[in-house]
Structure 1
Amino acid sequence: MKLSYLSVGISLAILSLAPPVYADDAGIEVIEVKGSYFNDYKVDSASGAMRTNASLLETAQAVTVIPETIIDEQLATTLGEVLSNVASLSPGSKQRNREVFSSRGFTLSSSNGYLRDGHQHWSHYQQPIETLSHVEVLRGPSSMLYGQSAPGGLINMVTKKPTDNTLFDISADVDQHGSSRFMLDAGGEIVEDLSYRGVLVKQDVIYEREYQNGEQRERDRFLGSMSVDYNFTENLLVNVYYDQTNDKAGLDTGAWLDANGDVIGDDKTIRDFSWAFTDITVANVGTRVNYFFNPQWELKLGYNEQTFERQRFESSPKMPKNYQEGDSYTSKPYDRFDDWQFKTFYIDLVGEFSFASVDHQVLIGANSLDYYYGQLKTNADPIDYTPGQAEPLRPDVSYKTDDSLYTSEYDYYGVYFQDLITFNDQWQAVFGGRFDKQNKKGADSDSFVPKLGVLYHPIDDATVYINYSESFEPASSETLNDETDKNHGMALDAVTSSQIELGAKWQVSERLLVETALFDIEKTGALITETLENDPVYDTITTQAGVQRHKGLELSAQGAITDRLFVMASAMYLDAVYERDNKYQGNTPVDAPEWSASIWSRYELTEALALNAGVFYQGERYADSDNTVTKDAYARVDLGASYQMDIGNKTLDFRFNVENVLDTDYLAGGGINNVTVGDGRTARFEVKASF
């Protein structure tokens, strides 16, 4: 049976250490060594959740942190492979060499659904995950700290930081199709008080799916990043960084589905022509400043400038209604150039103080975004194509002949306040609010969102909490512009969402954290247009009365079960429905399964040899908003193994992973004309040398 080897990342270093055991009668600390690894699955805090030093047990919100260890063990090369570890996240379309996700059933926007080190990050491309130390998944509305965003939550990608200790890792992974990835990860102290971290990646990918002329789809990616820390004084740390990604790939807008939810034709066939491509260059440059007034008070500043340039030469195939394999279809080619520029800034003052026997951990801050987008586009003549014919030649058109530059610009800023109050060992409360102002031609808007949570700790290592939070998404224009509508000229408010969440977190031991959350999210303010049957003047009446409601239950466990068995597991039940909508009332959103689950585990056979196993489940989902086409549920099983050996002053790590070991046929994210076909059994081998 045909094997295709899957992408791999970096194996982890093997160490021996277990939690300390205290000998009170002797007055000394005794360290008991068990197993071969640190407990590197469990994470105790998330910088993006509260923007302070609060632990997860002091956070009245469902938060999951995916550590670098798991990213490396799974040999992940895309953010989607990383986020599959959180059942609350559902994969969407992968068309045009980018990834889309939903959190708690709400689609995450590429403009405001992702953060990088706390900065809003334009994410219309596959993220360079080799630069990440971990990924934080913040679930539920998070506009109080970050501004405009969807109610499902945010993804905060936290980058690797400079290290004082010398680090020099070289790795290579390959598969039998010819795909390869070479990576250098280095860090250390340059001179006293000056340290760095640098990453270089060269990746070439050959995909399973192929064009109708027999050519394979390919991808060529280069990544370079550098981050430098300088300690000016004991109290002042300044970081500067730069990274650039060049990513060119053939286009694949996804497979087409029939009314039964089956792929039309061969599920390996790409409908785009082989000359269609996307070529992306993304650069980030910025600085972070941390100033400690004293151990209790800290000032944090951050600035990031992101430039995103993309050429996309499309064949743009259009799926005809009731299409059957062998029928002709039309492609509408064009050449397009997109230029996005994101400039973000934040300033946070974080401090702790006590007043009247009550402890406070406060955050006072502000952040801003300056957004610019420009587009050039030239269309070619349509092409009628029948499968089996010779592929038509690439049209002789170029975006450079377009002399009508389309632009879109806006900026916004927000100021926010948050206070985590500790009354005693059992009770805490958190409250805060944000005022946000957007300046956009024809769509100025402002919003205020509150946040409130109460935490109860029945024992030192457990938390029960309830929170109320809101989010907002600004309207596309200030007023309704339709002279045939009775409410023409009506002022439009931002689309708002609110959530009530009841949760519990239990640190079963120092090595295992178990969590659960019940949530109820209501999104209101979508436009509802109704026809007026007997009105002599107006045809319709539009109101902001749309309601979308998502309710659910989440469970998760992360950490060490025994000295040698480690797990990251999660499950979600979701009831998502358009309660009031102009077109989809009573329906379920696309790619919002009722049930989803995931588990990834490691078992250490010896100090040098470890095995991994994982199962990733997505329940039945709709492929269209009309809920007429259904995609079947699937469970993908992955296996892996790693081995470490020392040769002189070098450490060698070997890893072999097999994804979809049972060769299960499945459809991942996407709709009836852009669905992602899951890869068959795939395997990959990696070797890493650490000096």
Structure 2
Amino acid sequence: MSLKGFSFNYSTIGLAVLAGLASLPAVAEDAAESVVTANIERITVTGRTFNDYKVGVASGAMRGDIDLMDTPQSVTIIPDFVTDEQLATNLSEVLVNDSSVTGGSEKWNRQVFNIRGFELSSGSGFLINGQQQWSHYVQPIETLQQVEVLKGPSSMLYGQSGPGGLINMVTKKPTYDTFFDVGFDTDEHGSTRYQIDAGGSLNEDQTIRYRSVLVKQDTTYWREYQDGSNQERDRWLGYLNLEFDITDDLLLSLKYDHTQDKTGIDRGGWLNSDGELIGGKDIIWDMPWAFTDNTVSNLGAELTYHISDDWKVKAGYNDQQFNRQRLDSSPSLAKGSEDPFKDGYTISPFDRYDDWQHKTGFIDFTGDFSTGDIDHQFLIGANMLDYYYGQLKDAGDKNQIVMPGQPMPKPDLDYHRDGTLYESEYKHYGFYIQDLVTLNDQWQLLAGVRYDEQKKDGAGNNSYAVSPKFGVIYSPAENGSIYVNYSKSFTPQGIVNDEDDVNNGMNLDPEYGEQYEIGTKWELFDGSLLLTGAVFDITVSNVTVTQDLEVPNEEGDKTITNQSGEQRHKGFEMGAQGQVSDSWFVTGSMMYLDAVYDTADALDGKTPVDAPEWSANIWTRYEVTEALAFNFGAVYVGERFANTQNTISKDSYVRFDMGAAYSMDVMGSDVSVRLNVKNLFDTDYLAGGTNTDVTVGEGRHFGLALEAKF
């Protein structure tokens, strides 16, 4: 359903499933003809497997396939091989592999993240294959080949984006050779996930290729509603990517994915003024009838034309339709109370329908050329975003008092009754030019600049920005580099859209960020291990801050949003990825962060929520034999504040994880079995979120997975 006129509803889960299943006959036919060849290939892969812990190119960092050693920016690449080992099921479990990323609230079946202490916006903090993605939901990871964490301002290439960085999700590509993978995983709560991943060529000349992914997930969570039931999640995912070699120089790629994701609501735990969890770690304050139901479809196309061996032009378009119904009980502590068992707590139910439409497009012209002895890697391009949002809402009586365990019947609410449609839309355009200049074997220079324009209806609502970026790379040795960079960010803020905010409806000015960074990268052991380090200093002006009111005003407002002063984040980070010995692989990182507000109000000198001073992580693989491997991991997150006033904090914690995998040949097919234990020592901890929506860490958790490759 679209709230903006009439639109063709191409997004049905049935089409996605049928598209994936349609490819299976081709898989079966090709597999029957190539059993011997497939077995030989599998022996090669199973033996001296891989250095799949290390990836040398981040396509999003420079809008092209430029080596990380030639990229004057801190970038972390998390390949799907690592996250498959960890049995990751969502983006939060992927990003735990980079300590510069910390988690925030996970209420309403969405995930919030911070990079270098700055919160990522749902609208401008996430990319899919270099195009902006509306990410107000739990992103599917089964379709991803790798996740790239681009640190620091990236507005020069992508326009509106935050000062901390961007998350670029790179999807799986079609393959020339036929393969067919079937996977299944489960846990001690009875959750299940079934996956099919297939690829190959659809014709003898291999000029038409495909990649298809199907997922069915049913999750039972460990926390309980007050009637004794558990939160549950039901998710379908279909993904199809087709490539056509129209000519030797012209490639067309078509991509479609569809997600249907419905779950009960768990806004998280409440903390009292001493930072203690109210009511125990397993209690859900939301009502059992509350739910959020997401329907998300992406339909995209890319066209790449190789003008010559050195020059090419690439254009792309993506149409994202995101519809959500949220029937919410919206629980909160009673006014002036920290004891819901004595004073009860309030319920403010509503039924809301949201319609987001994200249309993005780009065109890039890239080429390599020389001026004398100086080499250039040149980029000039433009991109656009057409954004629409519509909302219908039917609200019940606010602040109904209930006691813990007291049943509250499902309210008679229906968003269709809303006779007033709230709408917001804008268009964003950007033009950019970049040149990576290689002076000699030791020195490289990067220079780029971008012009942005965001247009909204109404006088005074348009935003403009110029975002430069400069970098210098010095390579004292063939396997190492030292770089410095300067970059800026531009983040439009829209309006305050919160009925409980004093300044609801107020237009906000853009935030502007500025970063200085110096870093180094070294490849050791014949390039199999990458070591990185960076020191950064980021300053953001015109900061948007939402604070809780100590006492709600006469209108019942609970928060106030303003823009004032600056926010400065300084720190350093280090990382390692790759192969340490013949049998030992490792990925790990650590970050130190000093983040403070510099304002003239009560926030002056305070630290943002979920910005720990220290954080670190490690994940390793040790191969005992060609068939047996063990994994060990640890995640450390330092003490963090849970509110903007810095009066409530969450303790630091260390979580240890372990895993083991065994591979075998079963009737000519590779079959692997994996057992993982997360939070091995059953540590109690609080993850992201504020004192009113903190994510409570799960205790010891077992996961079991089976995978067969044909």
Output the TM-score relative to the length of structure 1: 0.90
Aligned to 1:635: 654
> In structure 2, how many angstroms separate the alpha carbons of the residues matched to 1:664 and 1:145?
42
Check whether the contact 1:17–1:38 (CA below 8 A) recurs between aligned residues: no
| Alignment counterpart, residue 257 of structure 1, candidates 271, 276, 287 | 271
Cα deviations across residues 187-228 of structure 1 (Å, max 9, x unaligned)?
110113001000000000000101011111100000001110
> In structure 2, how many angstroms separate the alpha carbons of the residues matched to 1:662 and 1:516?
31
1:626 matched to 2:626: no
Check whether the contact 1:297–1:350 (CA below 8 A) recurs between aligned residues: yes
SS of residue matched to 1:129: coil
> In structure 1, how many angstroms separate the alpha carbons of the residues matched to 2:90 and 2:507?
41
Greater CA deviation, 469-478 or 66-75?
469-478
Aligned to 2:303: 289
Distance change (3 Å), C-alpha of 1:158 and 1:620: same
Cα deviations across residues 335-378 of structure 1 (Å, max 9, x unaligned)?
00000000000000110000021000000010000000000000
> In structure 2, how many angstroms separate the alpha carbons of the residues matched to 1:42 and 1:335?
46
Cα deviations across residues 558-616 of structure 1 (Å, max 9, x unaligned)?
00010110000100000000012534111000000000000000000000000011000
Aligned to 2:28: none
| Alignment counterpart, residue 339 of structure 2, candidates 309, 315, 324 | 324
| Alignment counterpart, residue 225 of structure 2, candidates 211, 221, 234 | 211
Aligned to 1:472: 490
Check whether the contact 2:494–2:507 (CA below 8 A) recurs between aligned residues: no
- State how 1:471-490 maps to structure 2 within 5 Å: 471-476=489-494
> In structure 2, how many angstroms separate the alpha carbons of the residues matched to 1:432 and 1:58?
15
1:506 matched to 2:518: no
| Alignment counterpart, residue 672 of structure 1, candidates 685, 691, 699 | 691
Cα deviations across residues 544-567 of structure 1 (Å, max 9, x unaligned)?
751100000100000001011000
SS of residue matched to 2:60: helix
1:200 matched to 2:214: yes
Residue type matched to 2:533 in 1?
T
SS of residue matched to 1:680: coil
Aligned to 1:158: 170
Q: Give the Å deviation of 1:17.
A: 7.1
SS of residue matched to 1:366: strand
SS of residue matched to 2:477: coil
Check whether the contact 2:391–2:422 (CA below 8 A) recurs between aligned residues: yes
Aligned to 2:397: 381
What's the Cα RMSD here? 2.1
Residue type matched to 1:418 in 2?
Q
Aligned to 1:418: 434
Q: Give the Å deviation of 1:424.
A: 0.2
Check whether the contact 1:284–1:307 (CA below 8 A) recurs between aligned residues: yes
Distance change (3 Å), C-alpha of 1:503 and 1:318: same
Distance change (3 Å), C-alpha of 1:319 and 1:648: same
> In structure 1, how many angstroms separate the alpha carbons of the residues matched to 2:224 and 2:545?
42
Aligned to 1:28: none
Q: Give the Å deviation of 1:441.
A: 2.0
Q: Which runs of 5+ in 2 are unaligned?
A: 1-39, 497-502, 547-560
Greater CA deviation, 191-200 or 322-331?
322-331
Aligned to 2:139: 127
Distance change (3 Å), C-alpha of 1:16 and 1:190: closer
Greater CA deviation, 319-328 or 38-47?
319-328
Greater CA deviation, 582-591 or 54-63?
582-591
1:404 matched to 2:420: yes
1:592 matched to 2:611: yes
Aligned to 1:607: 626
> In structure 2, how many angstroms separate the alpha carbons of the residues matched to 1:391 and 1:67?
46
Aligned to 1:114: 126
- Number of corresponding residues: 642
| Alignment counterpart, residue 335 of structure 1, candidates 336, 351, 354 | 351
Aligned to 2:322: 308
1:657 matched to 2:676: yes
> In structure 2, how many angstroms separate the alpha carbons of the residues matched to 1:262 and 1:282?
37
> In structure 2, how many angstroms separate the alpha carbons of the residues matched to 1:245 and 1:389?
34
> In structure 1, how many angstroms separate the alpha carbons of the residues matched to 2:319 and 2:200?
26
Residue type matched to 2:251 in 1?
L
1:556 matched to 2:575: yes
Check whether the contact 1:513–1:557 (CA below 8 A) recurs between aligned residues: yes
Cα deviations across residues 451-485 of structure 1 (Å, max 9, x unaligned)?
0000000001101000000001125379xxxxxx9
Q: Give the Å deviation of 1:266.
A: 1.6
SS of residue matched to 2:108: helix
Q: Which runs of 5+ in 1 are unaligned?
A: 1-12, 19-33, 479-484, 530-541
Check whether the contact 1:14–1:608 (CA below 8 A) recurs between aligned residues: no
Check whether the contact 2:226–2:405 (CA below 8 A) recurs between aligned residues: no
Output the TM-score relative to the length of structure 2: 0.88
Aligned to 1:520: 537
Aligned to 1:90: 102
> In structure 1, how many angstroms separate the alpha carbons of the residues matched to 2:43 and 2:86?
21
Q: Give the Å deviation of 1:262.
A: 1.2
> In structure 2, how many angstroms separate the alpha carbons of the residues matched to 1:493 and 1:165?
51
Q: Give the Å deviation of 1:295.
A: 1.4
Q: Give the Å deviation of 1:383.
A: 5.8
> In structure 2, how many angstroms separate the alpha carbons of the residues matched to 1:163 and 1:632?
47
1:271 matched to 2:276: no
Cα deviations across residues 78-128 of structure 1 (Å, max 9, x unaligned)?
000000000000010001111000000000011100000001000000011
Aligned to 1:9: none
SS of residue matched to 1:82: helix
Q: Give the Å deviation of 1:527.
A: 6.9
Q: Give the Å deviation of 1:68.
A: 1.0
Q: Give the Å deviation of 1:385.
A: 3.8
Residue type matched to 2:230 in 1?
Q
Residue type matched to 2:373 in 1?
S
Q: Give the Å deviation of 1:35.
A: 6.4
Distance change (3 Å), C-alpha of 1:86 and 1:14: farther
Residue type matched to 2:132 in 1?
Q
Aligned to 2:30: none
Q: Give the Å deviation of 1:648.
A: 2.3
Check whether the contact 2:434–2:447 (CA below 8 A) recurs between aligned residues: yes
Cα deviations across residues 591-649 of structure 1 (Å, max 9, x unaligned)?
00000000000000000000011000100000000000010000110000111001222
Greater CA deviation, 381-390 or 202-211?
381-390
Distance change (3 Å), C-alpha of 1:108 and 1:527: closer
Check whether the contact 1:35–1:564 (CA below 8 A) recurs between aligned residues: no
Distance change (3 Å), C-alpha of 1:110 and 1:475: closer
> In structure 1, how many angstroms separate the alpha carbons of the residues matched to 2:390 and 2:531?
46
Check whether the contact 1:47–1:53 (CA below 8 A) recurs between aligned residues: yes
Residue type matched to 1:302 in 2?
G
Greater CA deviation, 285-294 or 337-346?
285-294
Residue type matched to 1:413 in 2?
Y
Distance change (3 Å), C-alpha of 1:491 and 1:324: closer
Distance change (3 Å), C-alpha of 1:232 and 1:616: same
Tell me: higher relative CO, structure 1 or 2? Use CA pairs within 8 A at least 6 residues apart. Answer: 1
| Alignment counterpart, residue 456 of structure 1, candidates 470, 474, 478 | 474
Aligned to 2:34: none
> In structure 2, how many angstroms separate the alpha carbons of the residues matched to 1:462 and 1:423?
17
